[in-house]
Amino acid sequence: MTEPGHHERRADVRETHTSVIFFAGDRVYKCKKPVDLGFLDYTTPAARRAACEREITLNRRFAPDVYLGLGELRTPGEDEAEPLVVMRRMPADRCLSRLVRAGAPVDDALRAVARQLAARHAAAPRGHGVFDEGTRDALAGRWEASFAEVASMAAPGPESDGTAETRRLVRRYLAGRKPLFDARIEQGRVVDGHGDLLADDVFVLDDGPRILDCLEFDDRLRHVDGLDDAAFLAMDLEQLGAPESAAFFLARYSDYAGDPAPPSLWHHYVAYRAFVRAKVSMIQARQGAPGAQAAARRFVATALRHLRASAVGLTLVAGLPGSGKSTLSGALADRLGAVLLSSDRLRKEMAGIPAEQSAAADYGEGLYTPERTARTYAELLDRAAALLARGESVVLDATWIDAAQREEARRTAERACADLVALHCHVPGDVAAARLGTRPPGASDAGLGVAEAMADREQPWPEAVPVDTSGPLRSAVARALAAVRPWGPDQATVFRRPYMEPD
């Protein structure tokens, strides 16, 4: 803990919405405000003492040499002493937020923080009391409580569009993702964590980082998914103007925690943390803190951006043989961080033959009978449904010439509360013929004769977005992305799946 000014050894005071912090010499003294904010009540000395003791105990898990113990402030005429948390003062120039604002390199520091946080999570208490707070319904309850608190502090009048869309996107995401949250509990991902991880409270020292000021007033708010805990710092880094550092930190945390969470969950938790900070800023605004109302608006905007990015999608990439649909599907899945499923590959997997082995046959024969095709599409959608429920966006590469199959895909997306987008690839006939005549053996066995037979049976699909794939791939991908992510690719930090890198 350090003072906000530049002169490390001068006495100073800093105030938060729950505490007053005094900086003197090489010590920091923190006392609780006698406030009742609904979610905490420090109006009695006994409650403040208990909160101070709890803060010391919990924070020693992360920085045992910083939290020195409990002190007291006595004034003449007062029967009871005011409890204080006594801390070792941290060097101001090693504060993570200050380093980020100064443009200093912080990758090594973030890697160390990620490693330490993952280690603390690995050793953290677990069990039914903790796991109860990691369920989908528990998270939904926290969101709804925040919505209610924000609404109670909002000015009279119509609700802002941003708040309304935030609530809609949260409910839609959570409604379809119960299996994801159940799996997180089964994997032991829900822990007694930090709960309030901000760059202001991280100090980069030569012998390792010190992480301060965990949440102590409500154990339930500290019993969180480890990724949720890490997402708080990622959100704060983004607010400091370092979105690349935010993505880097979450990737490193996921590496050290061995966590294969889908990108949608990364975004959802960052959004949740931004909305929590919006609520805190609104409380500070009511206490008269300058700039707090503007900060609240920024946090709400951040939450909304990440909720849009977290939306789970089912994208159908359709087209006749030679239309370029498989090439587009692969490029699009890569850009979206989505799982790619191919009917051609799945058909051969179900038949027990390698994807690259030829199974060429006339239209409707061999592996391509109507019965085999129906089973292939059914399995394709079953696998997609399981992935969507676990937070994965999915790209389905298939011809989709049958309207009944398209309708079943629509129902699959609807049941999973996923956004459905259909793309229809097309090229001039001579281009398709040239591609079919020159392409090497692969998962698809269709030749020109099969393509012509399928064209005769293809049913109209006016809802599908046409994509011309006869030009550069980047143009087709841009067209596809505009349909799948109309809010734009730069509206939120793009989180990629974690990758391992040598230390």
What domains are defined for the chain?
A: 12-88 (3.30.200), 92-310 (3.90.1200.10), 313-484 (3.40.50.300)
Task: For residue range 451-486, list pLDDT tens digits in order.
Answer: 889 999 999 999 999 999 999 999 999 999 999 998
CB 336 within 8 A of CB 426: no
pLDDT band at 1 (very low <50, low <70, confident <90, very high): low
Q: Assign 140 to helix, strand or coil.
A: helix
pLDDT band at 66 (very low <50, low <70, confident <90, very high): very high
Question: Residue 130 to residues 37, 60, 144, 365, 426: CA-CA distances in angstroms?
Answer: 24, 20, 20, 56, 53
pLDDT average, residue stretch 183-193: 96
Phi, psi of 400 (to 5 degrees): 55, 45
CA-wise closest residue to 208 among 323, 63, 72, 348: 63
DSSP 496: P
Burial class (CB in 10 A: 0-12, 13-18, 19+), 151: exposed
Q: How far apart are CA 95 and CA 185, in angstroms?
A: 34
Structure tokens at 20: 């007053």
Q: Assign 177 to helix, strand or coil.
A: coil
| Higher per-residue confidence, 10 vs 314 | 314
Question: Residue 165 to residues 50, 239, 415, 471: CA-CA distances in angstroms?
Answer: 39, 21, 21, 37
Predicted local distance difference test score (pLDDT) of residue 503 = 35
267-299: b or e for each residue (b if 16 or more CB lie within 10 Å)? bbbbbbbbbbbbbbbbbbbeeeeeebeebbeeb
Predicted local distance difference test score (pLDDT) of residue 76 = 85
State the residue for tokens 């929590």: 276
* pLDDT mean across residues, the chain: 91
Q: Does residue 55 have a pLDDT over 80?
A: yes
Task: For residue range 153-180, list pLDDT tens digits in order.
Answer: 876 655 566 788 999 999 999 999 999 9
Note if the pTM is more than 0.75: yes
Predicted local distance difference test score (pLDDT) of residue 336 = 92
Predicted local distance difference test score (pLDDT) of residue 9 = 55
Predicted local distance difference test score (pLDDT) of residue 159 = 59
Task: For residue range 302-321, list pLDDT tens digits in order.
Answer: 999 999 999 999 999 999 99
Report DSSP letters for 389-421, one per residue.
HTT--EEEES----HHHHHHHHHHHHHTT-EEE
Structure tokens at 411: 């129902």
CB 173 within 8 A of CB 262: no
Predicted local distance difference test score (pLDDT) of residue 502 = 35
Torsion of CA 447, 453, 454, 457, to 10 degrees: 180
The strands making up 27-32's β-sheet, listed across from edge to edge, are: 12-15, 19-24, 27-32, 82-88, 67-73
